[in-house]
């Protein structure tokens, strides 16, 4: 269909919707509906997520040209309505050219990170809906709140960020409360790779000079854990000892850190085995990692973390591999209910590093806890950030990680190893592929240990200042 006829039909659709509303409003059986909320209601990020529907699946099909940073294609969303809807929102920043809802052109508008979609006909509660969004833009030029999380590199780009990367590459219900499965298929010039989550289903060459990379992630996945990395990468793919696909990719420009990166990230299957012993079975269907010079941090992107090369500049670093892979349990499988619950991610992934150290004979968790506790004097601002409610500006402050891990050491000391690991494993099992709050974790810890733990968590997560030494080692009287 030509662009002109597409817009002509969109115009008709809008008229049709207006007529339907006038003719059938108040008539029995007509689903007139209300606009879906423009927020999922997370006080840390009021713009994040939307109301009125629940996404089941994203099918993201794109073409990316690194030379110009042109990203174009469609995202098809399979969702189910949770109310009668006259309109609904998606979170998206790139320029949209058309939206179809249940195969009919829909009216839409874009402002301030929200794509507002008004279907030709209202949507009834508890029905399946198919939304196709067509778009094209240059993501590195699209700023929101003064930044773009899309990183353009010499030969490609990265969409890897927390809490927000999706709005720069696909329209979504952008909040961990609404998880979905993914097919990500991206065509790029033959001399670069396009990497994403899960299993590489196939690569295909449909037109000369271009290769299409098709990935599939089959377990519920939060939007911030979906990623796209394009560029020149040295790819190693094989099978992990447990039979799962194991795919790693090292930037062709890593230089002297290449071997240290490989000596760390190639140990992912061993590290996942270790973590499975601690926390229960690995929740996902594939394993791996991507190491890139294009970012300054690491992120626990589902099934395949992405690491900055900076972690490997001075030699191997299994701690960061343990940290990002521990997030597969804490963050990816069990996701925050709201972003305030970030301790459930970072405190636990940091504590997993201590468990690994203990197993490797490089210092027990207690020794590492004592070191951190003594490192920060009582008047240090470190003790002023509350891991249990750090605020969006301090979501990734050291306190969330280190005081967060100290909290778990305090818990372990208070309840003993057996109860501690039962609490952790039960938490992971009960919230698998879902969400959890800090309050739910505290309640579970009290239930399993049979001990009152309110004061311990109050002291460690929700009270400014350096806890007294006895609380540091979790001695409860």
Q: Where in 311-370 is the site for ligand ARG (CB under 6 A)? A: 323-324, 346
In the bound state with Zn ion, the residue whose beta carbon lies nearer, of 91 and 346, is 346
Least Cβ distance, residue 339 to ligand ARG (angstroms): 12
Here the tokens at position 295 are: 């970012």
> Does 299 sit near ligand ARG (CB under 6 A)?
yes
Cα separation of 300 and 279, whole Å? 17
Here the tokens at position 387 are: 């891991």
Alpha helices in 365-403 (DSSP H): 365-375, 398
> Does 194 sit near Zn ion (CB under 5 A)?
no
| Residue 183 site contact among ligand ARG, Zn ion, none (CB < 5 to 8 Å, cut-off depends on kind) | none
| Cα atoms found within 13 Å of the Cα of residue 41, Cβ hemisphere only | 7
| Residue 161 site contact among ligand ARG, Zn ion, none (CB < 5 to 8 Å, cut-off depends on kind) | ligand ARG
Cα separation of 269 and 236, whole Å? 14
Starting at the edge strand that comes first in sequence, how are the strands of the sheet with 287-292 ordered? 233-239, 245-251, 287-292, 306-308
User: For residue 172, with 0-12 CB atoms within 10 Å meaning exposed, 13-18 middle and 19 or more buried, which class applies?
Assistant: buried
> Going by C-beta distance under 8 Å and a sequence separation of 6 or more, which residues neighbour residue 341?
436, 437, 438
Q: Where in 141-170 is the site for ligand ARG (CB under 6 A)? A: 161-162
Q: Where in 363-382 is the site for Zn ion (CB under 5 A)? A: none
Q: Where in 427-456 is the site for Zn ion (CB under 5 A)? A: none
Least Cβ distance, residue 346 to Zn ion (angstroms): 5
Is 236 in contact with 268 (CB distance < 8 Å)? no
Cα separation of 455 and 329, whole Å? 26
Stretch that binds Zn ion, among 46-54, 208-216, 257-265, 344-352 (CB under 5 A): 344-352
Specify the pairing of strand 157-159 against strand 150-152.
antiparallel
Among 298, 334, 355, 406, contact with ligand ARG (rule: CB under 6 A): 298
User: How many of the chain's residues bind Zn ion (CB under 5 A)?
Assistant: 2
| Residue 299 site contact among ligand ARG, Zn ion, none (CB < 5 to 8 Å, cut-off depends on kind) | ligand ARG
| Residue 396 site contact among ligand ARG, Zn ion, none (CB < 5 to 8 Å, cut-off depends on kind) | ligand ARG
> Going by C-beta distance under 8 Å and a sequence separation of 6 or more, which residues neighbour residue 412?
365, 420, 474
Please name every residue paired with 299 in a beta bridge, in sequence order, or none if there are none.
306
In the bound state with Zn ion, the residue whose beta carbon lies nearer, of 161 and 346, is 346
| Residue 162 site contact among Zn ion, ligand ARG, none (CB < 5 to 8 Å, cut-off depends on kind) | ligand ARG
Q: Where in 91-120 is the site for ligand ARG (CB under 6 A)? A: none
Specify the pairing of strand 96-101 against strand 150-152.
unpaired
Least Cβ distance, residue 326 to ligand ARG (angstroms): 9
Among 184, 334, 349, 406, contact with Zn ion (rule: CB under 5 A): 349
Least Cβ distance, residue 67 to ligand ARG (angstroms): 27
Of 181, 106, 188, 94, residue with least CA distance to 138 = 94
> Does 396 sit near ligand ARG (CB under 6 A)?
yes
Q: Which residues bind ligand ARG (CB under 6 A)?
A: 161-162, 297-300, 323-324, 346, 396
């Amino acid at each position: 269909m030509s662009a002109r006829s597409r817009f002509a039909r969109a115009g008709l659709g809008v008229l049709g919707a207006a007529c339907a509303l006038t003719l059938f409003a108040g008539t029995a059986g007509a689903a007139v509906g209300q606009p879906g909320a423009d927020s999922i209601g997370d006080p840390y990020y009021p713009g994040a997520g939307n109301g009125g529907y629940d996404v089941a699946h994203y099918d993201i099909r794109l073409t990316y040209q690194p030379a110009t940073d042109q990203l174009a294609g469609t995202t098809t969303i399979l969702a189910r309505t949770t109310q009668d809807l006259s309109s609904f929102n998606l979170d998206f920043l790139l320029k949209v050219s058309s939206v179809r809802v249940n195969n009919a052109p829909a009216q839409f508008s874009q402002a301030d990170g929200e794509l507002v979609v008004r279907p030709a006909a209202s949507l009834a509660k508890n029905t399946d809906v198919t939304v196709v969004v067509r778009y094209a833009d240059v993501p590195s030029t699209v700023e929101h709140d003064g930044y773009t999380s899309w990183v353009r590199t010499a030969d490609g780009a990265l969409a890897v960020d927390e809490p927000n990367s999706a709005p720069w590459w696909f329209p979504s219900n952008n909040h961990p409360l609404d998880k979905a499965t993914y097919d990500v298929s991206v065509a790029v010039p033959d001399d670069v790779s396009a990497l994403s989550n899960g299993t590489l289903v196939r690569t295909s060459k449909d037109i000369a000079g271009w290769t299409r990379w098709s990935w599939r992630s089959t377990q519920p996945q939060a939007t911030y854990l979906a990623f796209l990395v394009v560029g020149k990468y040295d790819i190693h793919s094989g099978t992990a000892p447990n039979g799962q696909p194991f795919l790693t990719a090292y930037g062709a420009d890593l230089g002297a850190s290449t071997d240290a990166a490989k000596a760390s990230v190639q140990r992912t299957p061993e590290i996942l085995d270790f973590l499975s012993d601690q926390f229960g079975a690995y929740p996902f269907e594939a394993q791996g990692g991507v190491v890139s010079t294009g970012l300054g941090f690491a992120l626990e992107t589902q099934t395949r973390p992405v690491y900055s090369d900076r972690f490997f500049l001075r030699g191997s670093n299994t701690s960061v591999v343990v940290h990002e892979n521990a997030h597969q349990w804490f963050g990816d499988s069990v996701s925050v209910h709201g972003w305030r619950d970030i301790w459930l991610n970072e405190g636990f992934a940091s504590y997993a590093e201590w468990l690994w150290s203990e197993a490797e004979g490089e210092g027990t968790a207690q020794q590492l806890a004592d070191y951190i506790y003594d490192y920060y004097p009582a008047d240090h601002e470190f003790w002023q950030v509350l891991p249990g409610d750090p605020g969006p500006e301090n979501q990734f402050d050291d306190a969330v990680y280190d005081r967060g891990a100290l909290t778990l050491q305090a818990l372990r000391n208070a309840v003993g190893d057996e109860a501690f690991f039962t609490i952790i494993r039960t938490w992971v099992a009960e919230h698998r592929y879902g969400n959890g709050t800090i309050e739910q974790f505290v309640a579970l810890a009290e239930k399993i240990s049979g001990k009152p733990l309110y004061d311990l968590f109050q002291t460690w997560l929700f009270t400014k200042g350096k806890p007294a030494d006895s609380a540091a080692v979790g001695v409860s009287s």
